[in-house]
Amino acid sequence: MTITPASVVSARDLGLTFETNDGPVNALTGVNLDVNKGDFVSFIGPSGCGKTTFLRVIADLEKPTSGAITVNGTTPEDARKNRSYGYVFQAAALYPWRTIEKNIALPLEIMGYSAADQKARIDRTLDLVNLTGFGKKFPWQLSGGMQQRASIARALAFDADLLLMDEPFGALDEIVRDHLNEQLLKLWDRTNKTICFVTHSIPEAVYLSTKIVVMSPRPGRVTDIIESTLPKERPLDIRESPEFLEIASRVREGLRAGHSYDE
Amino acid sequence: MEKSNFFKDRVMPVGVILLALLVIWYVAVIFLNVPFERDTAARAGTAITFSEILPKTMFQQRPVLPAPHQVIAEIWNTTVLMPITSKRSLVYHAWITLSATLLGFGIGTVLGILLAVGIVHNRAMDRSLMPWVIASQTIPILAIAPMIIVVLNAVGISGLLPKALISTYLSFFPIVVGMVKGLRSPEQIQLDLMHTYYASPSQTFWKLRWPSSMPYLFTSLKVAIAISLVGAIVGELPTGAVSGLGARLLAGSYYGQTVQIWSALFMAAALAATLVIIVGFAHTAVLKRMGTRA
Ligand SMILES: Nc1ncnc2c1ncn2[C@@H]1O[C@H](COP(=O)(O)OP(=O)(O)OP(=O)(O)O)[C@@H](O)[C@H]1O
Ligand SMILES: [Mg+2]
């Protein structure tokens, strides 16, 4: 196994089996994947195919039961201890007793950023997710979509080169989603972050990614990896271009092939 | 609008129950005190009519059950009309009991929280301590209260502390149980978030577990403060204490001073209610600061 310095995530024959009361559940089997520095990788696949589980393995929230994985060239545990990634969960997971700005400050407090730096970062990330003016509100005073945006701001507030996002825009309406997709691309372009992004939406995956990982369930495995040929500069209307539609149909094919209809 | 609602929602229901209780009480007074008047009249050989007996049952010296106005008059006489320094002042006795209550409650709260922190963070403590904590409460407090006081007296500790320790014995239990639950109440996703930040155990405690446990803590504190008072009173009973509400109860029953017993009981109840209400206000204030939905 050779690891190039640019490799951010490298999985070899990765497998994870949950031992449950109803017997073992194969959440991941034989996953081989390389994510390079600066990649924008989308994971797409039906519910229960192990997308969240894979992200959690990268984040050292689950331990694989077979195979090997490195993050930034080290074990996931060391990568976590180096605070090398920000994680956006499927649910917002804001702390209800903290205001929005205090929620964004949480990782900054833990990682020991100075008060002035905290303030600047809170303002910047609130602006980034269009929540300026909502910093003093408590989570329950915000809509579900706004809460999710606040949780994205929280993950962007500190300097992690890798961003793990688990269906961050799943709860948002189309317009806000478009806007945030654009913002995310700009941010990615500007900061040169590496992003792993789980989604259920084919257009979203194609629009955002440099690499699309198609997964299928029972057991969770990777069925196709599609390198995008779209340019890095992507206006929203690129989604009507023939090139875009071709990639989208390849993703759809991949999903169909991996999907069993016999239930 | 606001006011009439407050009257309708709060004052009315409580008032109706209070009125009903008073009626029941007066009826009971008549039933329980009539035999004594009948006996007295019979011994004197005089015939007495029911309408003559009725008023007498309301003003006996040592009634089986004193009437509400007798109790109220006694409370008034021993609080407002009596200097606090007097040994007969109910305020003085209440203060003696209250100080033991508060000291015991304070120690119990700190002890309970420390035990809960240990139990939540340490598997060995969880296994070894929790059964003892529960077992401690299966021993009747009336049985061990005298022993605690005798043992502590023997080693030279007397006065406030032994009584307070009985309060502690009772009050640490709901705190431990509530706080163990509260400190374990964060959801997995909230803990995972801390894990991704590589937060230290103390950061996870102060920024997640502790704030999560606040609603549980205050619910426990309300129970704990009320039983602390019970503990302090029980602590006064077996020791022949001369001051405190427990001593008043005991002295009252020695000398058949039922009016004194009942007024001490009411004082204890009022004290308990006040303490619970104060904790309730603190609860509301803390939750408000934590942004809980109004
Ligand atoms: N902690 C766990 N214990 C047991 N089984 C689990 C656990 N977490 C996930 N699984 C199982 O692993 C499989 C993959 O779950 P995962 O959450 O990764 O799916 P997903 O692709 O993220 O689905 P979705 O799109 O619905 O979020 C599922 O069959 C799920 O039931
Ligand atoms: Mg998922």
Summarised one tens digit per residue, pLDDT across range B90-130 is 899 999 999 999 999 999 999 999 999 999 999 888 888 88
Which pLDDT score is estimated for B240?
67
Q: Alpha-carbon torsion A141, A142, A143, A147, what sign? A: negative
Please answer whether residues A55 and A196 qualify as being in contact, where contact means their C-beta atoms are separated by less than 8 angstroms: yes
CATH code where residue B201 lies: 1.10.3720.10
Query: Chain B: residue nearest A140 by CA?
Result: B293
Whether B207 sits inside 8 A of A85 (CB atoms) is: no
Closest Cα to atom 5 of ligand 1: A18
- List of chain A residues whose C-beta atoms are within 8 Å of the C-beta of residue B182: none
B201 and B110, same domain (yes or no) = yes
The shortest C-alpha distance from B163 to chain A (Å) reads 38
Peptide linkage before B66 cis (omega within 30 of 0): no
The shortest C-alpha distance from B214 to chain A (Å) reads 10
B255 and B199, same domain (yes or no) = yes
Which pLDDT score is estimated for B2?
53
CA of B13 to the centre of ligand 1 (A): 52
Q: Which ligand is nearest to the CA of A88?
A: 2
**Rounded-to-integer distance, Cα B153 and Cα B143, Å:** 17
Closest Cα to atom 12 of ligand 1: A27
Highest average pLDDT, of A40-44, B129-133, B144-148, comes from A40-44
**Token reading at B8:** 């309708």
B53 and B140, same domain (yes or no) = no
B211 and B283, same domain (yes or no) = yes
Residue B74, domain member (yes or no) = no
Residue B162, domain member (yes or no) = yes
- List of chain A residues whose C-beta atoms are within 8 Å of the C-beta of residue B290: 96-97
Place of tokens 């010296």: B61
Per-residue model confidence as pLDDT tens digits over A103-123:
999 999 999 999 999 999 999
B105 and B41, same domain (yes or no) = no
Question: Three-class SS of residue A165?
Answer: strand
**Token reading at B171:** 């009050």
| Section B195-202 average pLDDT | 95
- CA of A51, closest atom in ligand 1: 21
Which pLDDT score is estimated for B283?
94
Residue B69, domain member (yes or no) = no
The domain total for chain B is 2
B250 and B285, same domain (yes or no) = yes
B11 and B107, same domain (yes or no) = no
Q: Could you give the ipTM of this predicted complex?
A: 0.90
CB distance A220 to ligand 1 below 6 Å: yes
pTM of the model: 0.86
Q: Which domain holds residue B227?
A: 90-289
Q: In what order do the strands lie in the sheet with A7-20?
A: A23-36, A7-20, A66-71
Q: With an 8 Å Cβ cutoff, is B190 touching chain A? A: yes
Q: Alpha-carbon torsion B120, A22, A60, A197, what sign? A: negative
Neighbours of B33 (CB within 10 A): 23
Per-residue model confidence as pLDDT tens digits over A25-42:
888 988 999 999 999 999
Pairing of strands A162-166, A194-199: parallel
The shortest C-alpha distance from B122 to chain A (Å) reads 21
- What percentage of chain B carries pLDDT values higher than 90? 48
- List of chain B residues whose C-beta atoms are within 8 Å of the C-beta of residue A99: 291
Query: Chain A: residue nearest B214 by CA?
Result: A97
B45 and B136, same domain (yes or no) = no
Closest Cα to atom 29 of ligand 1: A48
- Is the pLDDT reported for residue A261 higher than 60? no
Neighbours of A62 (CB within 10 A): 18
CB distance A211 to ligand 1 below 6 Å: no
CB distance A27 to ligand 1 below 6 Å: yes
Whether B192 sits inside 8 A of A61 (CB atoms) is: yes
B60 and B95, same domain (yes or no) = no
B40 and B172, same domain (yes or no) = no
Which pLDDT score is estimated for A217?
84
What does the CA dihedral B129, B134, B136, B139 come to, rounded to 10 degrees?
Answer: -160
B57 and B167, same domain (yes or no) = no
Residue B294, domain member (yes or no) = no
Q: Alpha-carbon torsion A52, A53, A59, A61, what sign? A: positive
What does the CA dihedral A59, A61, A64, A70 come to, rounded to 10 degrees?
Answer: 20
Q: Quick one: which of A55, A28, A43, A27 has its CA closest to A198? A: A43
Residue B73, domain member (yes or no) = no
- List of chain B residues whose C-beta atoms are within 8 Å of the C-beta of residue A86: 196
Q: Quick one: which of A219, A204, A197, A223 has its CA closest to A49? A: A219
Which pLDDT score is estimated for A3?
47
Q: Which ligand is nearest to the CA of A219?
A: 1
Residue B31, domain member (yes or no) = yes
Residue B145, domain member (yes or no) = yes
B241 and B131, same domain (yes or no) = yes
CA of A200 to the centre of ligand 2 (A): 10
- List of chain A residues whose C-beta atoms are within 8 Å of the C-beta of residue B187: 93
Residue B59, domain member (yes or no) = yes
For the ranges A9-23, A80-94, B103-117, B241-255, the lowest mean pLDDT is seen at B241-255
- Is the pLDDT reported for residue A155 higher than 70? yes
Sequence-distant (6+) residues with CB within 8 A of A181 are: A169, A204, A207, A208, A236
Q: Quick one: which of B210, B226, B211 has its CA closest to B280? A: B226
The shortest C-alpha distance from B282 to chain A (Å) reads 16
